[in-house]
Amino acid sequence: MPVIEVAKHDLERLTRLKFEELVKYLEHIKCEIEEDLGERVKFEVTHDRPDHFSAEGLARTLKGAAEVEIGLPPIKLMPPSITLNADIIEERPYISMAVVHGVKLDDEAVRQLIQLQEKLHETYGRGRRKIAIGYYDVSKIKPPIYYTRVSQEDEYVPLGFDRPIKVREMYERTEQGQKYSHFINRERPPALVDSSGQIMVIIPVLGSECCKITESTRDVLIDVTGTEPRAVHNALSVLIYALLERSGSKEVEIVTGGTPYVHRYREVAADPDAVGDLLGIPLSPAAFRRLVEKARLGYEEGRVLVPPYRFNVFSWVDVAEDVAVMLGYNSLPREAPGIVTGGRRHWVEIFAGEVRKAFLSMGFTEVNNYVLTDSAVEEVCNAVHVANPVSELYNTVRCSIVTQLIAVAASARRRETKLFEVGDVVKDGKTLKTAAFLISRDGATLTDGLSVVKTLCSRLGLNCGTVAADIPWALPNRSARVEGGGNGYIAEVNPDLLTKLGHTTPTVVGELYLG
């Protein structure tokens, strides 16, 4: 869980409530105090609410829970006065910008905005690989702005420096340069440059002293660049609404050019009766509306209006969760199930236990991988992708265990490895219990895999047979299909696939579907 740090006095100012009053509403926003430091406090917040990564987002939600301010957060869209001219930047092709007017900043406010920036970089931005964020003082910029490439021989004043240095020097002399410059073309890095020629930032590495935000800043320009437009727009929404909590005018200007950002509320059909049935409570239309508005959503004629920064709300079930959060989980009724039954192990789990014992008796080592994996599994089967993955390492529901076993064997770096796993896969929309094995050593052949299957079937009392099969990712004429007592396959893995997965030792794999 992400941990953020805020000043108590700042949270009190934003919410117009004493900190002691706020504590009782923390359950309503799924937030816990990690550590009380006296004047400051650390909160543990959930990954699915990036708008809670700073005091501004916490304050907005707390105001709703405490009914200090309910409904959709106020925003006034203004005609654009800044133009962005964007070149084609292959490594980061998408860019969106907005200006929030009338902000009131102090040292703590600047600290919170930087914390939000960095938390989004670390989590949603995959360590700046997916998105990168910048803030700028509009009064220090001469538009139009250009998203273009500069030379590593060009000079600018990086944040924290008091004189200009060359871009290539920045790569070596700053922590950010050493950490992030390999994401881009170092010789011709992408940058934002205003019409006077001053470099505002080397993206996604380090900004410039020329236009950084300070306590005297009143109009803040936000830029988000990235590799995927939806991620760019989602992050920009979070940042806009965070700054609106510091704005007296609530005025926002969407910068024209680049990847167009459109501010709109999504509509989700939600029936109070259906939500009440799901939560197990009677819920009148008036009570439902009030709870929806406390969650900082809107409600019009059976439709819930969702602000852009709440991109974790997809359907009425998500609305029901917000209603439950505002009610408080502890206030929901508890009741015993209507049918009393005794628990027992499913036959598939009992059978899987016997399979594990058989593999262990043959000298295999058991491993346990996650059901979610990376897209490498598509090398061997058709997989389903997660719509909004938390990590690129877990963005696919596995349809096979084979690629994960090969990855484990590659990391072991041994000349001889015998691994197995019994776990779930999803194939053609169905969840199957699967037993997969791997033999990796010099001289490993299909015969080794056939021997394992024959021994396994014999110990389990199954009548298995094998027939020749054609598997695209296996060596030609070196794979077989298992029939009879169990369905599955055995294959010698093609060296091309092994190389893609970082493994160099001849490998035989097999998978049996248990049920």
Q: Are 178 and 69 in contact (CB under 8 A)?
A: no
Amino acid at 331: S
- C-alpha distances (whole Å) from 245 to each of 14, 237, 341 are 7, 13, 52
pLDDT > 70: percent of the chain: 100
Can you give the pTM of this predicted structure?
0.75
* DSSP per-residue string spanning 174-187: SHHHHHHGGGS-SS
More confident residue, 17 or 29: 17
Instruction: Give 3-17 pLDDT, tens digit per residue.
Output: 999 999 999 999 999
Residue 30 pLDDT level (bands cut at 50, 70, 90):
confident
**Shortest CA distance to 435 belongs to which of 405, 395, 396?**
405
Instruction: Give 302-314 pLDDT, tens digit per residue.
Output: 899 999 999 999 9
pLDDT of residue 157: 97
Instruction: Give 215-254 pLDDT, tens digit per residue.
Output: 999 999 999 999 999 999 999 999 999 999 999 999 999 9
DSSP 473: T
Domains and CATH numbers, the chain: 3-65 (3.30.56.10), 76-254 (3.50.40.10), 266-331 (3.30.56.10), 347-513 (3.30.930.10)
pLDDT of residue 485: 58
pLDDT at 27 over 80: no
**Shortest CA distance to 30 belongs to which of 389, 332, 327, 386?**
327
- C-alpha distances (whole Å) from 475 to each of 408, 436, 437 are 21, 18, 17
Instruction: Summarize the confidence of residues 88-115 as an average pLDDT.
Output: 97
pLDDT of residue 2: 87
pLDDT of residue 1: 78
Instruction: Give 441-481 pLDDT, tens digit per residue.
Output: 999 999 999 999 999 999 988 888 889 999 999 999 999 99
- C-alpha distances (whole Å) from 49 to each of 8, 123, 311, 322 are 21, 11, 9, 12
Residue 413 pLDDT level (bands cut at 50, 70, 90):
confident
Residue 326 pLDDT level (bands cut at 50, 70, 90):
very high
- C-alpha distances (whole Å) from 146 to each of 85, 97, 150 are 5, 12, 11
**Shortest CA distance to 488 belongs to which of 504, 465, 508, 472?**
465
Residue 112 pLDDT level (bands cut at 50, 70, 90):
very high
pLDDT at 294 over 80: yes
pLDDT of residue 115: 96
pLDDT at 40 over 80: yes
85: enclosing H helix or E strand: strand 84-86
Residues facing 481 on adjacent strands: 467, 489
Q: Are 440 and 505 in contact (CB under 8 A)?
A: yes
- C-alpha distances (whole Å) from 70 to each of 290, 321, 418 are 8, 17, 59
**Shortest CA distance to 227 belongs to which of 347, 124, 75?**
124
